[in-house]
Amino acid sequence: MPRCTVVRRLHFNAAHRLHNPARSDGWNAETFGPCNNPNFHGHNYELEVMVEGEVDAETGYVVDVGVLKRIVEDEAIRHLDHRNLNLDVPFFREHLPSAENIAVYIWQRIVDRIPRGRLKRVRLWETPRNWVDYEGD
Ligand SMILES: [Zn+2]
């Protein structure tokens, strides 16, 4: 059977602050720039979840995108949207809430829930110009 990659795009807003308490204020300001702002700031995140697999002969789908959307909303978006990532999401007490780590968080939350095909990539835009890809490594 032919194989395709199905992509679902989702959106959320969240606040964060990138700050490594093990390093000096100067190091943090230089390393993280505006993302080190002490009183947090927001981003409009765009998320793409990509699932690759065989096209099912009976449905013509790799995966039902409606089902995929609900999984990503329930497992990830619901926990991130309109949240302060540093304060509201336990994962980010242990990990800096960078786009990279947010993509890893989303991957870990959904990878075992994909009903058909396999999760190929989580792509997360932090700004219209900056995005990260995570493929499970
Ligand atoms: Zn930021």
Residue 68 Cα to ligand 1 midpoint, Å, equals 27
The per-residue pLDDT for 69 is 98
Helix (H, G, I), strand (E, B) or coil at 21: coil
Residue 1 Cα to ligand 1 midpoint, Å, equals 43
Per-residue tokens: 107: 């991957």
Residue 124 Cα to ligand 1 midpoint, Å, equals 13
* CA–CA separation, 137 and 134 (whole Å): 7
For 80-90, write each residue's pLDDT tens digit.
Answer: 999 999 999 99
Which amino acid would we find at residue 67?
V
Query: What does pTM read for this prediction?
Result: 0.96
For 94, residues 6+ apart whose C-beta sits below 8 A from its C-beta are none
For 58-104, write each residue's pLDDT tens digit.
Answer: 999 999 999 999 999 999 999 999 999 999 999 999 999 999 999 99
Alpha helices in 73-121 (DSSP H): 78-80, 85-88, 91-94, 99-110
Of all helices (H) and strands (E), which one includes residue 88?
helix 85-88
Per the DSSP assignment, residues forming a β-bridge with 131 are: 125
Catalytic residue numbers read 35, 82, 126
For 105-121, write each residue's pLDDT tens digit.
Answer: 999 999 999 999 999 99
